[in-house]
Every structure is written in structure tokens, then in C-alpha cells.
Structure 1
Amino acid sequence: MNARSPRPAAVPAEALRDPRSRKALHGMKLLVGGYLAISVLTLAALFVLRGDATVVNDAVWVRVSIVVASALLSFAFAVRAARGSRGAYRRLRIVSAVMVVAIAVIVAVPGPFPLWLKLEQGVCGLALLGVLVVANGSHLRALFAAE
């Protein structure tokens, strides 16, 4: 038999309507939306520039694909968190932290990534750092704390 722990209840709607909550959740969605937009535009640029091996190599394709996937997931998590999902909030915090570390490594370590991608990743990293600051702020941590 598979015993599953009960899901934590969603954050009450009245708590989500608090002006501080609305501002923080809206800010997180904007930052993650910016991360998603930049990632998708970068993927589109890869398609346009795919014939130039000095600008687009296999490592760039793999990295940008991973970033777009994480941006899509992060956006879905941010939307669900704004609706009160504790699980989505927790996942957004985890994915954002992991991606900030991965981006810091990409930017800092010499390797197969061209300068333009490192700059793009730096911008994405700044957006995700903003998500981390907002998501780990005392107000949202208290709002999403398990009951």
C-alpha cells in the first residue's frame, strides 16, 4: 500500500489579496516572465544564427534548451504560487537557486560558451537573483509557511 502524506492546503485567498503579498507575487511573476522572454528570444536567435559555428555550437544549443525548459517550469511555478500553491512556491525557490548557481558557473568558468551567451546568462541570472530575493523575503516565507 502506498501511504502518501496529505498535501498542504493552499494559502488562503484573503492572505493572497494582502497588498504586500500581491506586490511580491506580481514582482516574482514579472521577473520570471522576463527570464522566460529572454530565454525564448535567445532560442529564436539560435535558429536564425544556426549556420555560424563560431556563434552557435552544440554546447550553446544544449544550454539554451535547458534554460528555456527551466524558464517555462519557473513561470508555471510562479503562476501557481501566485494562486496560493505552497508546492509551486517551494519548487520556484529550488529551481531559481539551482539555475543561479548554474549560471554563475557558466559565466565564470572558461569553456565552450561564447561571450554573447555568457552576457545573456548574466542577465537571466540577475532576474533569477531578484526572484530569490523576493521569494526568500520574510513576508512570502511567512505566507507560504506550512500550517
Structure 2
Amino acid sequence: MTTTRTGPAVFRPVLLVTGGYATLSVLTLLVIVLFRNDHAMVTDAVWVRATLVVASSLLTLAFARSAARGSRKGLLRLRIVSAVMLVAIVVIVALPGLFPLWLRIEQAVCGLLLLGVTVLVNGRRARAR
């Protein structure tokens, strides 16, 4: 098995996707801060959701790094968190009126990233590791 500085090569795509998810989540929170005075764009629900997503995305990235270093617990945590967050995102995107359209679109992108993580960490190569 080929290894890299961050662990086995099988986890390289997982690390890239979870890194992208964390980056998008942090950038979204920065946009919210910039547009905080636009109450149509940034509601209280947007603040809460974005803060939770940043926290979960950083945890997801930490679990991916742990799994890449060979931690079984890290892999299990990554599997659970990515699946749970994916389900939560599907609900948020599907519910009309709860969040502004721009945040639902951002969450859909996050959901696609998490779908990729979920598929990768539950695949045969990751499980064999």
C-alpha cells in the first residue's frame, strides 16, 4: 500500500474532500459575518446553522486525519459524522422556507462533498485498510 505524508494513499481523496468541506464552511461563515446587517440574507437560523456546520466540518476533517493515520476509531467517527451530517443537509435543503435559498444551495454543495466522503469511507478499499 502506498503511503503519503498524511497516511495511506487511499485516504488522500477523503482528506481533500473533507478539507474542501471545511474550507467551504468557514468561507460561508465569513460571508455571513460580512452580510450580517442584511437580515433577509442572514437570519438567526443562518447563524446557528453555519456555526454548527463549521464545527462539524472541522471535526470531520480531524476524524479524516485520524483515520488516515490508521485509527479505527477515527474511521468509525468519520463514517458516523459524514452520514449523519449528510442526512441533516438533505433535510435542510428539502425543507422550504427554513433557510434562504443561497444557504440551501451552499448546503447542497456541502451535501455533495459529504456524499463523496461517505462513499469513500464505506468503500472496500477504506474498510480493508
* TM-score greater than 0.5 by the shorter chain: yes
Q: Distance in 2 between matches of 1:66 and 1:75?
A: 14
Q: Distance in 1 between matches of 2:107 and 2:29?
A: 12
Q: 1:139 aligns with which of 106, 119, 125?
A: 125
Q: 1:74 aligned to 2:49?
A: no
TM-score (norm 2): 0.93
**Match of 1:110, as an amino acid?**
P
The answer for the alignment partner of 2:18 in structure 1 is 32
- Give the superposed CA RMSD: 1.5
Q: 1:102 aligned to 2:114?
A: no
Q: Distance in 2 between matches of 1:139 and 1:41?
A: 31
Q: Which structure has more RCO (C-alpha within 8 Å, separation ≥ 6)?
A: 1
Q: Distance in 2 between matches of 1:16 and 1:63?
A: 38
Post-superposition offset of 1:142: 1.9
Any unmatched runs of 5+ in structure 2?
none
Q: Distance in 2 between matches of 1:134 and 1:43?
A: 27
- Give the total of aligned pairs: 127
Any unmatched runs of 5+ in structure 1?
1-14
Post-superposition offset of 1:139: 1.3
Post-superposition offset of 1:22: 3.1
Aligned identity (percent) is 56
TM-score (norm 1): 0.82
Displaced runs of 4 or more, over 6 A: none
Post-superposition offset of 1:52: 0.4
